[in-house]
Amino acid sequence: MSYTATSSRSKVFPSPSAALEGLVRDGITVAVGGFGLCGIPEQLILALRDTGARNLTAVSNNAGVDDWGLGLLLQTRQIRKMISSYVGENAEFERQYMSGELELEFNPQGTLAERMRAGGAGIAGFYTRTGVGTIVAEGKETKEFDGEVFVLERGIRADLSLVKAWKADESGNLVFRKTARNFNPMAAMCGRACVAEVEEIVPVGSLDPDNIHTPGIYVDRIVRTTSVKRIEQRTIRPNPS
């Protein structure tokens, strides 16, 4: 799949479903930003579900929860393979994996982030000490540098990236808030096409260039959405009275 934005085409789309039009088909690899339920492109995930696309490979730090985030795509059996670093909080994920219905490629968290960043930067692979001597390194090339063994990890290049940002200007420059920066910038980089859902769209020139986290060159389409702001694990203290 290939998609090329032109300067004459507006990047602002009226709805998540419109923003995905022409970008989704069976069997593609989709990089999805977010950390737990923080900073996930929740409305784009819903729109992706509604396309009915199947046999997807999802690249994401985690798989959401059973009834939200990528967990919704697991419910509908649209994901064939997950490339992830954390798979807790999702009973359906566990059930499908243990029954052999879902393929899983585990990555250390930092390695996964760097694989996406490398893919976006045009780097085919890199060597890291993380995972050496464990099942993470099985079947992978290793090399010794300065007396230490490193394992080769390949950069990830996705067909489509779905990310969630706080603000965007009309050129697609993105600003993320706090924990949402953990994976969204790298996910945005590695997609051949990138769609961002944002809370606010401002005119070009409104964002301080020093505060832009992802340049618009990486972003093809943007759509304004309203977040649900779900809490992954609600923890409360007992009333002292």
Is 236 within a domain? no
CATH of the domain at 73: 3.40.1080.10
Read off the tokens for 53.
């696309």
Is 232 within a domain? no
If one counts the domains in the chain, the total is 1
Place of tokens 């995972």: 131
Structure confidence by residue, pLDDT tens digits, 152-199: 999 999 999 999 999 999 999 999 999 999 999 999 999 999 999 999
- For 169, list phi and psi in degrees, rounded to 5: -95, 175
Reduce the secondary structure of 64-131 to three states and give it as a string: CECCECCHHHHHCCCEEEEEECCCCCCHHHHHHHHCCCCEEEECCHHHHHHHHHHHHCCCCEEEECCC
Asked if pLDDT for residue 102 goes beyond 90, the answer is: yes
For residues 228 and 225, give the distance between their C-alpha atoms in angstroms, rounded to a whole number. Answer: 10
- The residues, any chain, with a CB within 8 Å of residue 130's CB and separated by 6 or more, are 108, 110, 111, 136, 151
Structure confidence by residue, pLDDT tens digits, 187-239: 999 999 999 999 999 999 999 999 999 999 999 999 999 987 766 667 778 87
Using only C-alpha atoms, the chain has a radius of gyration, in whole angstroms, of 18
Whether the Cβ atoms of residue 90 and residue 71 lie closer than 8 Å to each other: yes
pTM: 0.90
**Which residue range is the domain that position 53 belongs to?**
12-224
For residues 165 and 137, give the distance between their C-alpha atoms in angstroms, rounded to a whole number. Answer: 33
Is 114 within a domain? yes
Beta carbons within 10 angstroms of residue 179's beta carbon: 13
Candidates 65, 64, 66, 96; CA nearest to 81 is 96
Q: ∠ at Cα 196 (194, 201), nearest 5°?
A: 135
pLDDT at 4: 47
Is 6 within a domain? no
Is 42 within a domain? yes
Is 144 within a domain? yes
Is 201 within a domain? yes
- The residues, any chain, with a CB within 8 Å of residue 108's CB and separated by 6 or more, are 85, 130, 131, 136
- Greater pLDDT, 141 or 90: 141
Quickly state the pLDDT bin for 7 (edges 50, 70, 90). very low
Read off the tokens for 93.
């994920």
Is 154 within a domain? yes
Asked if pLDDT for residue 240 goes beyond 90, the answer is: no
Candidates 170, 134, 165; CA nearest to 149 is 134
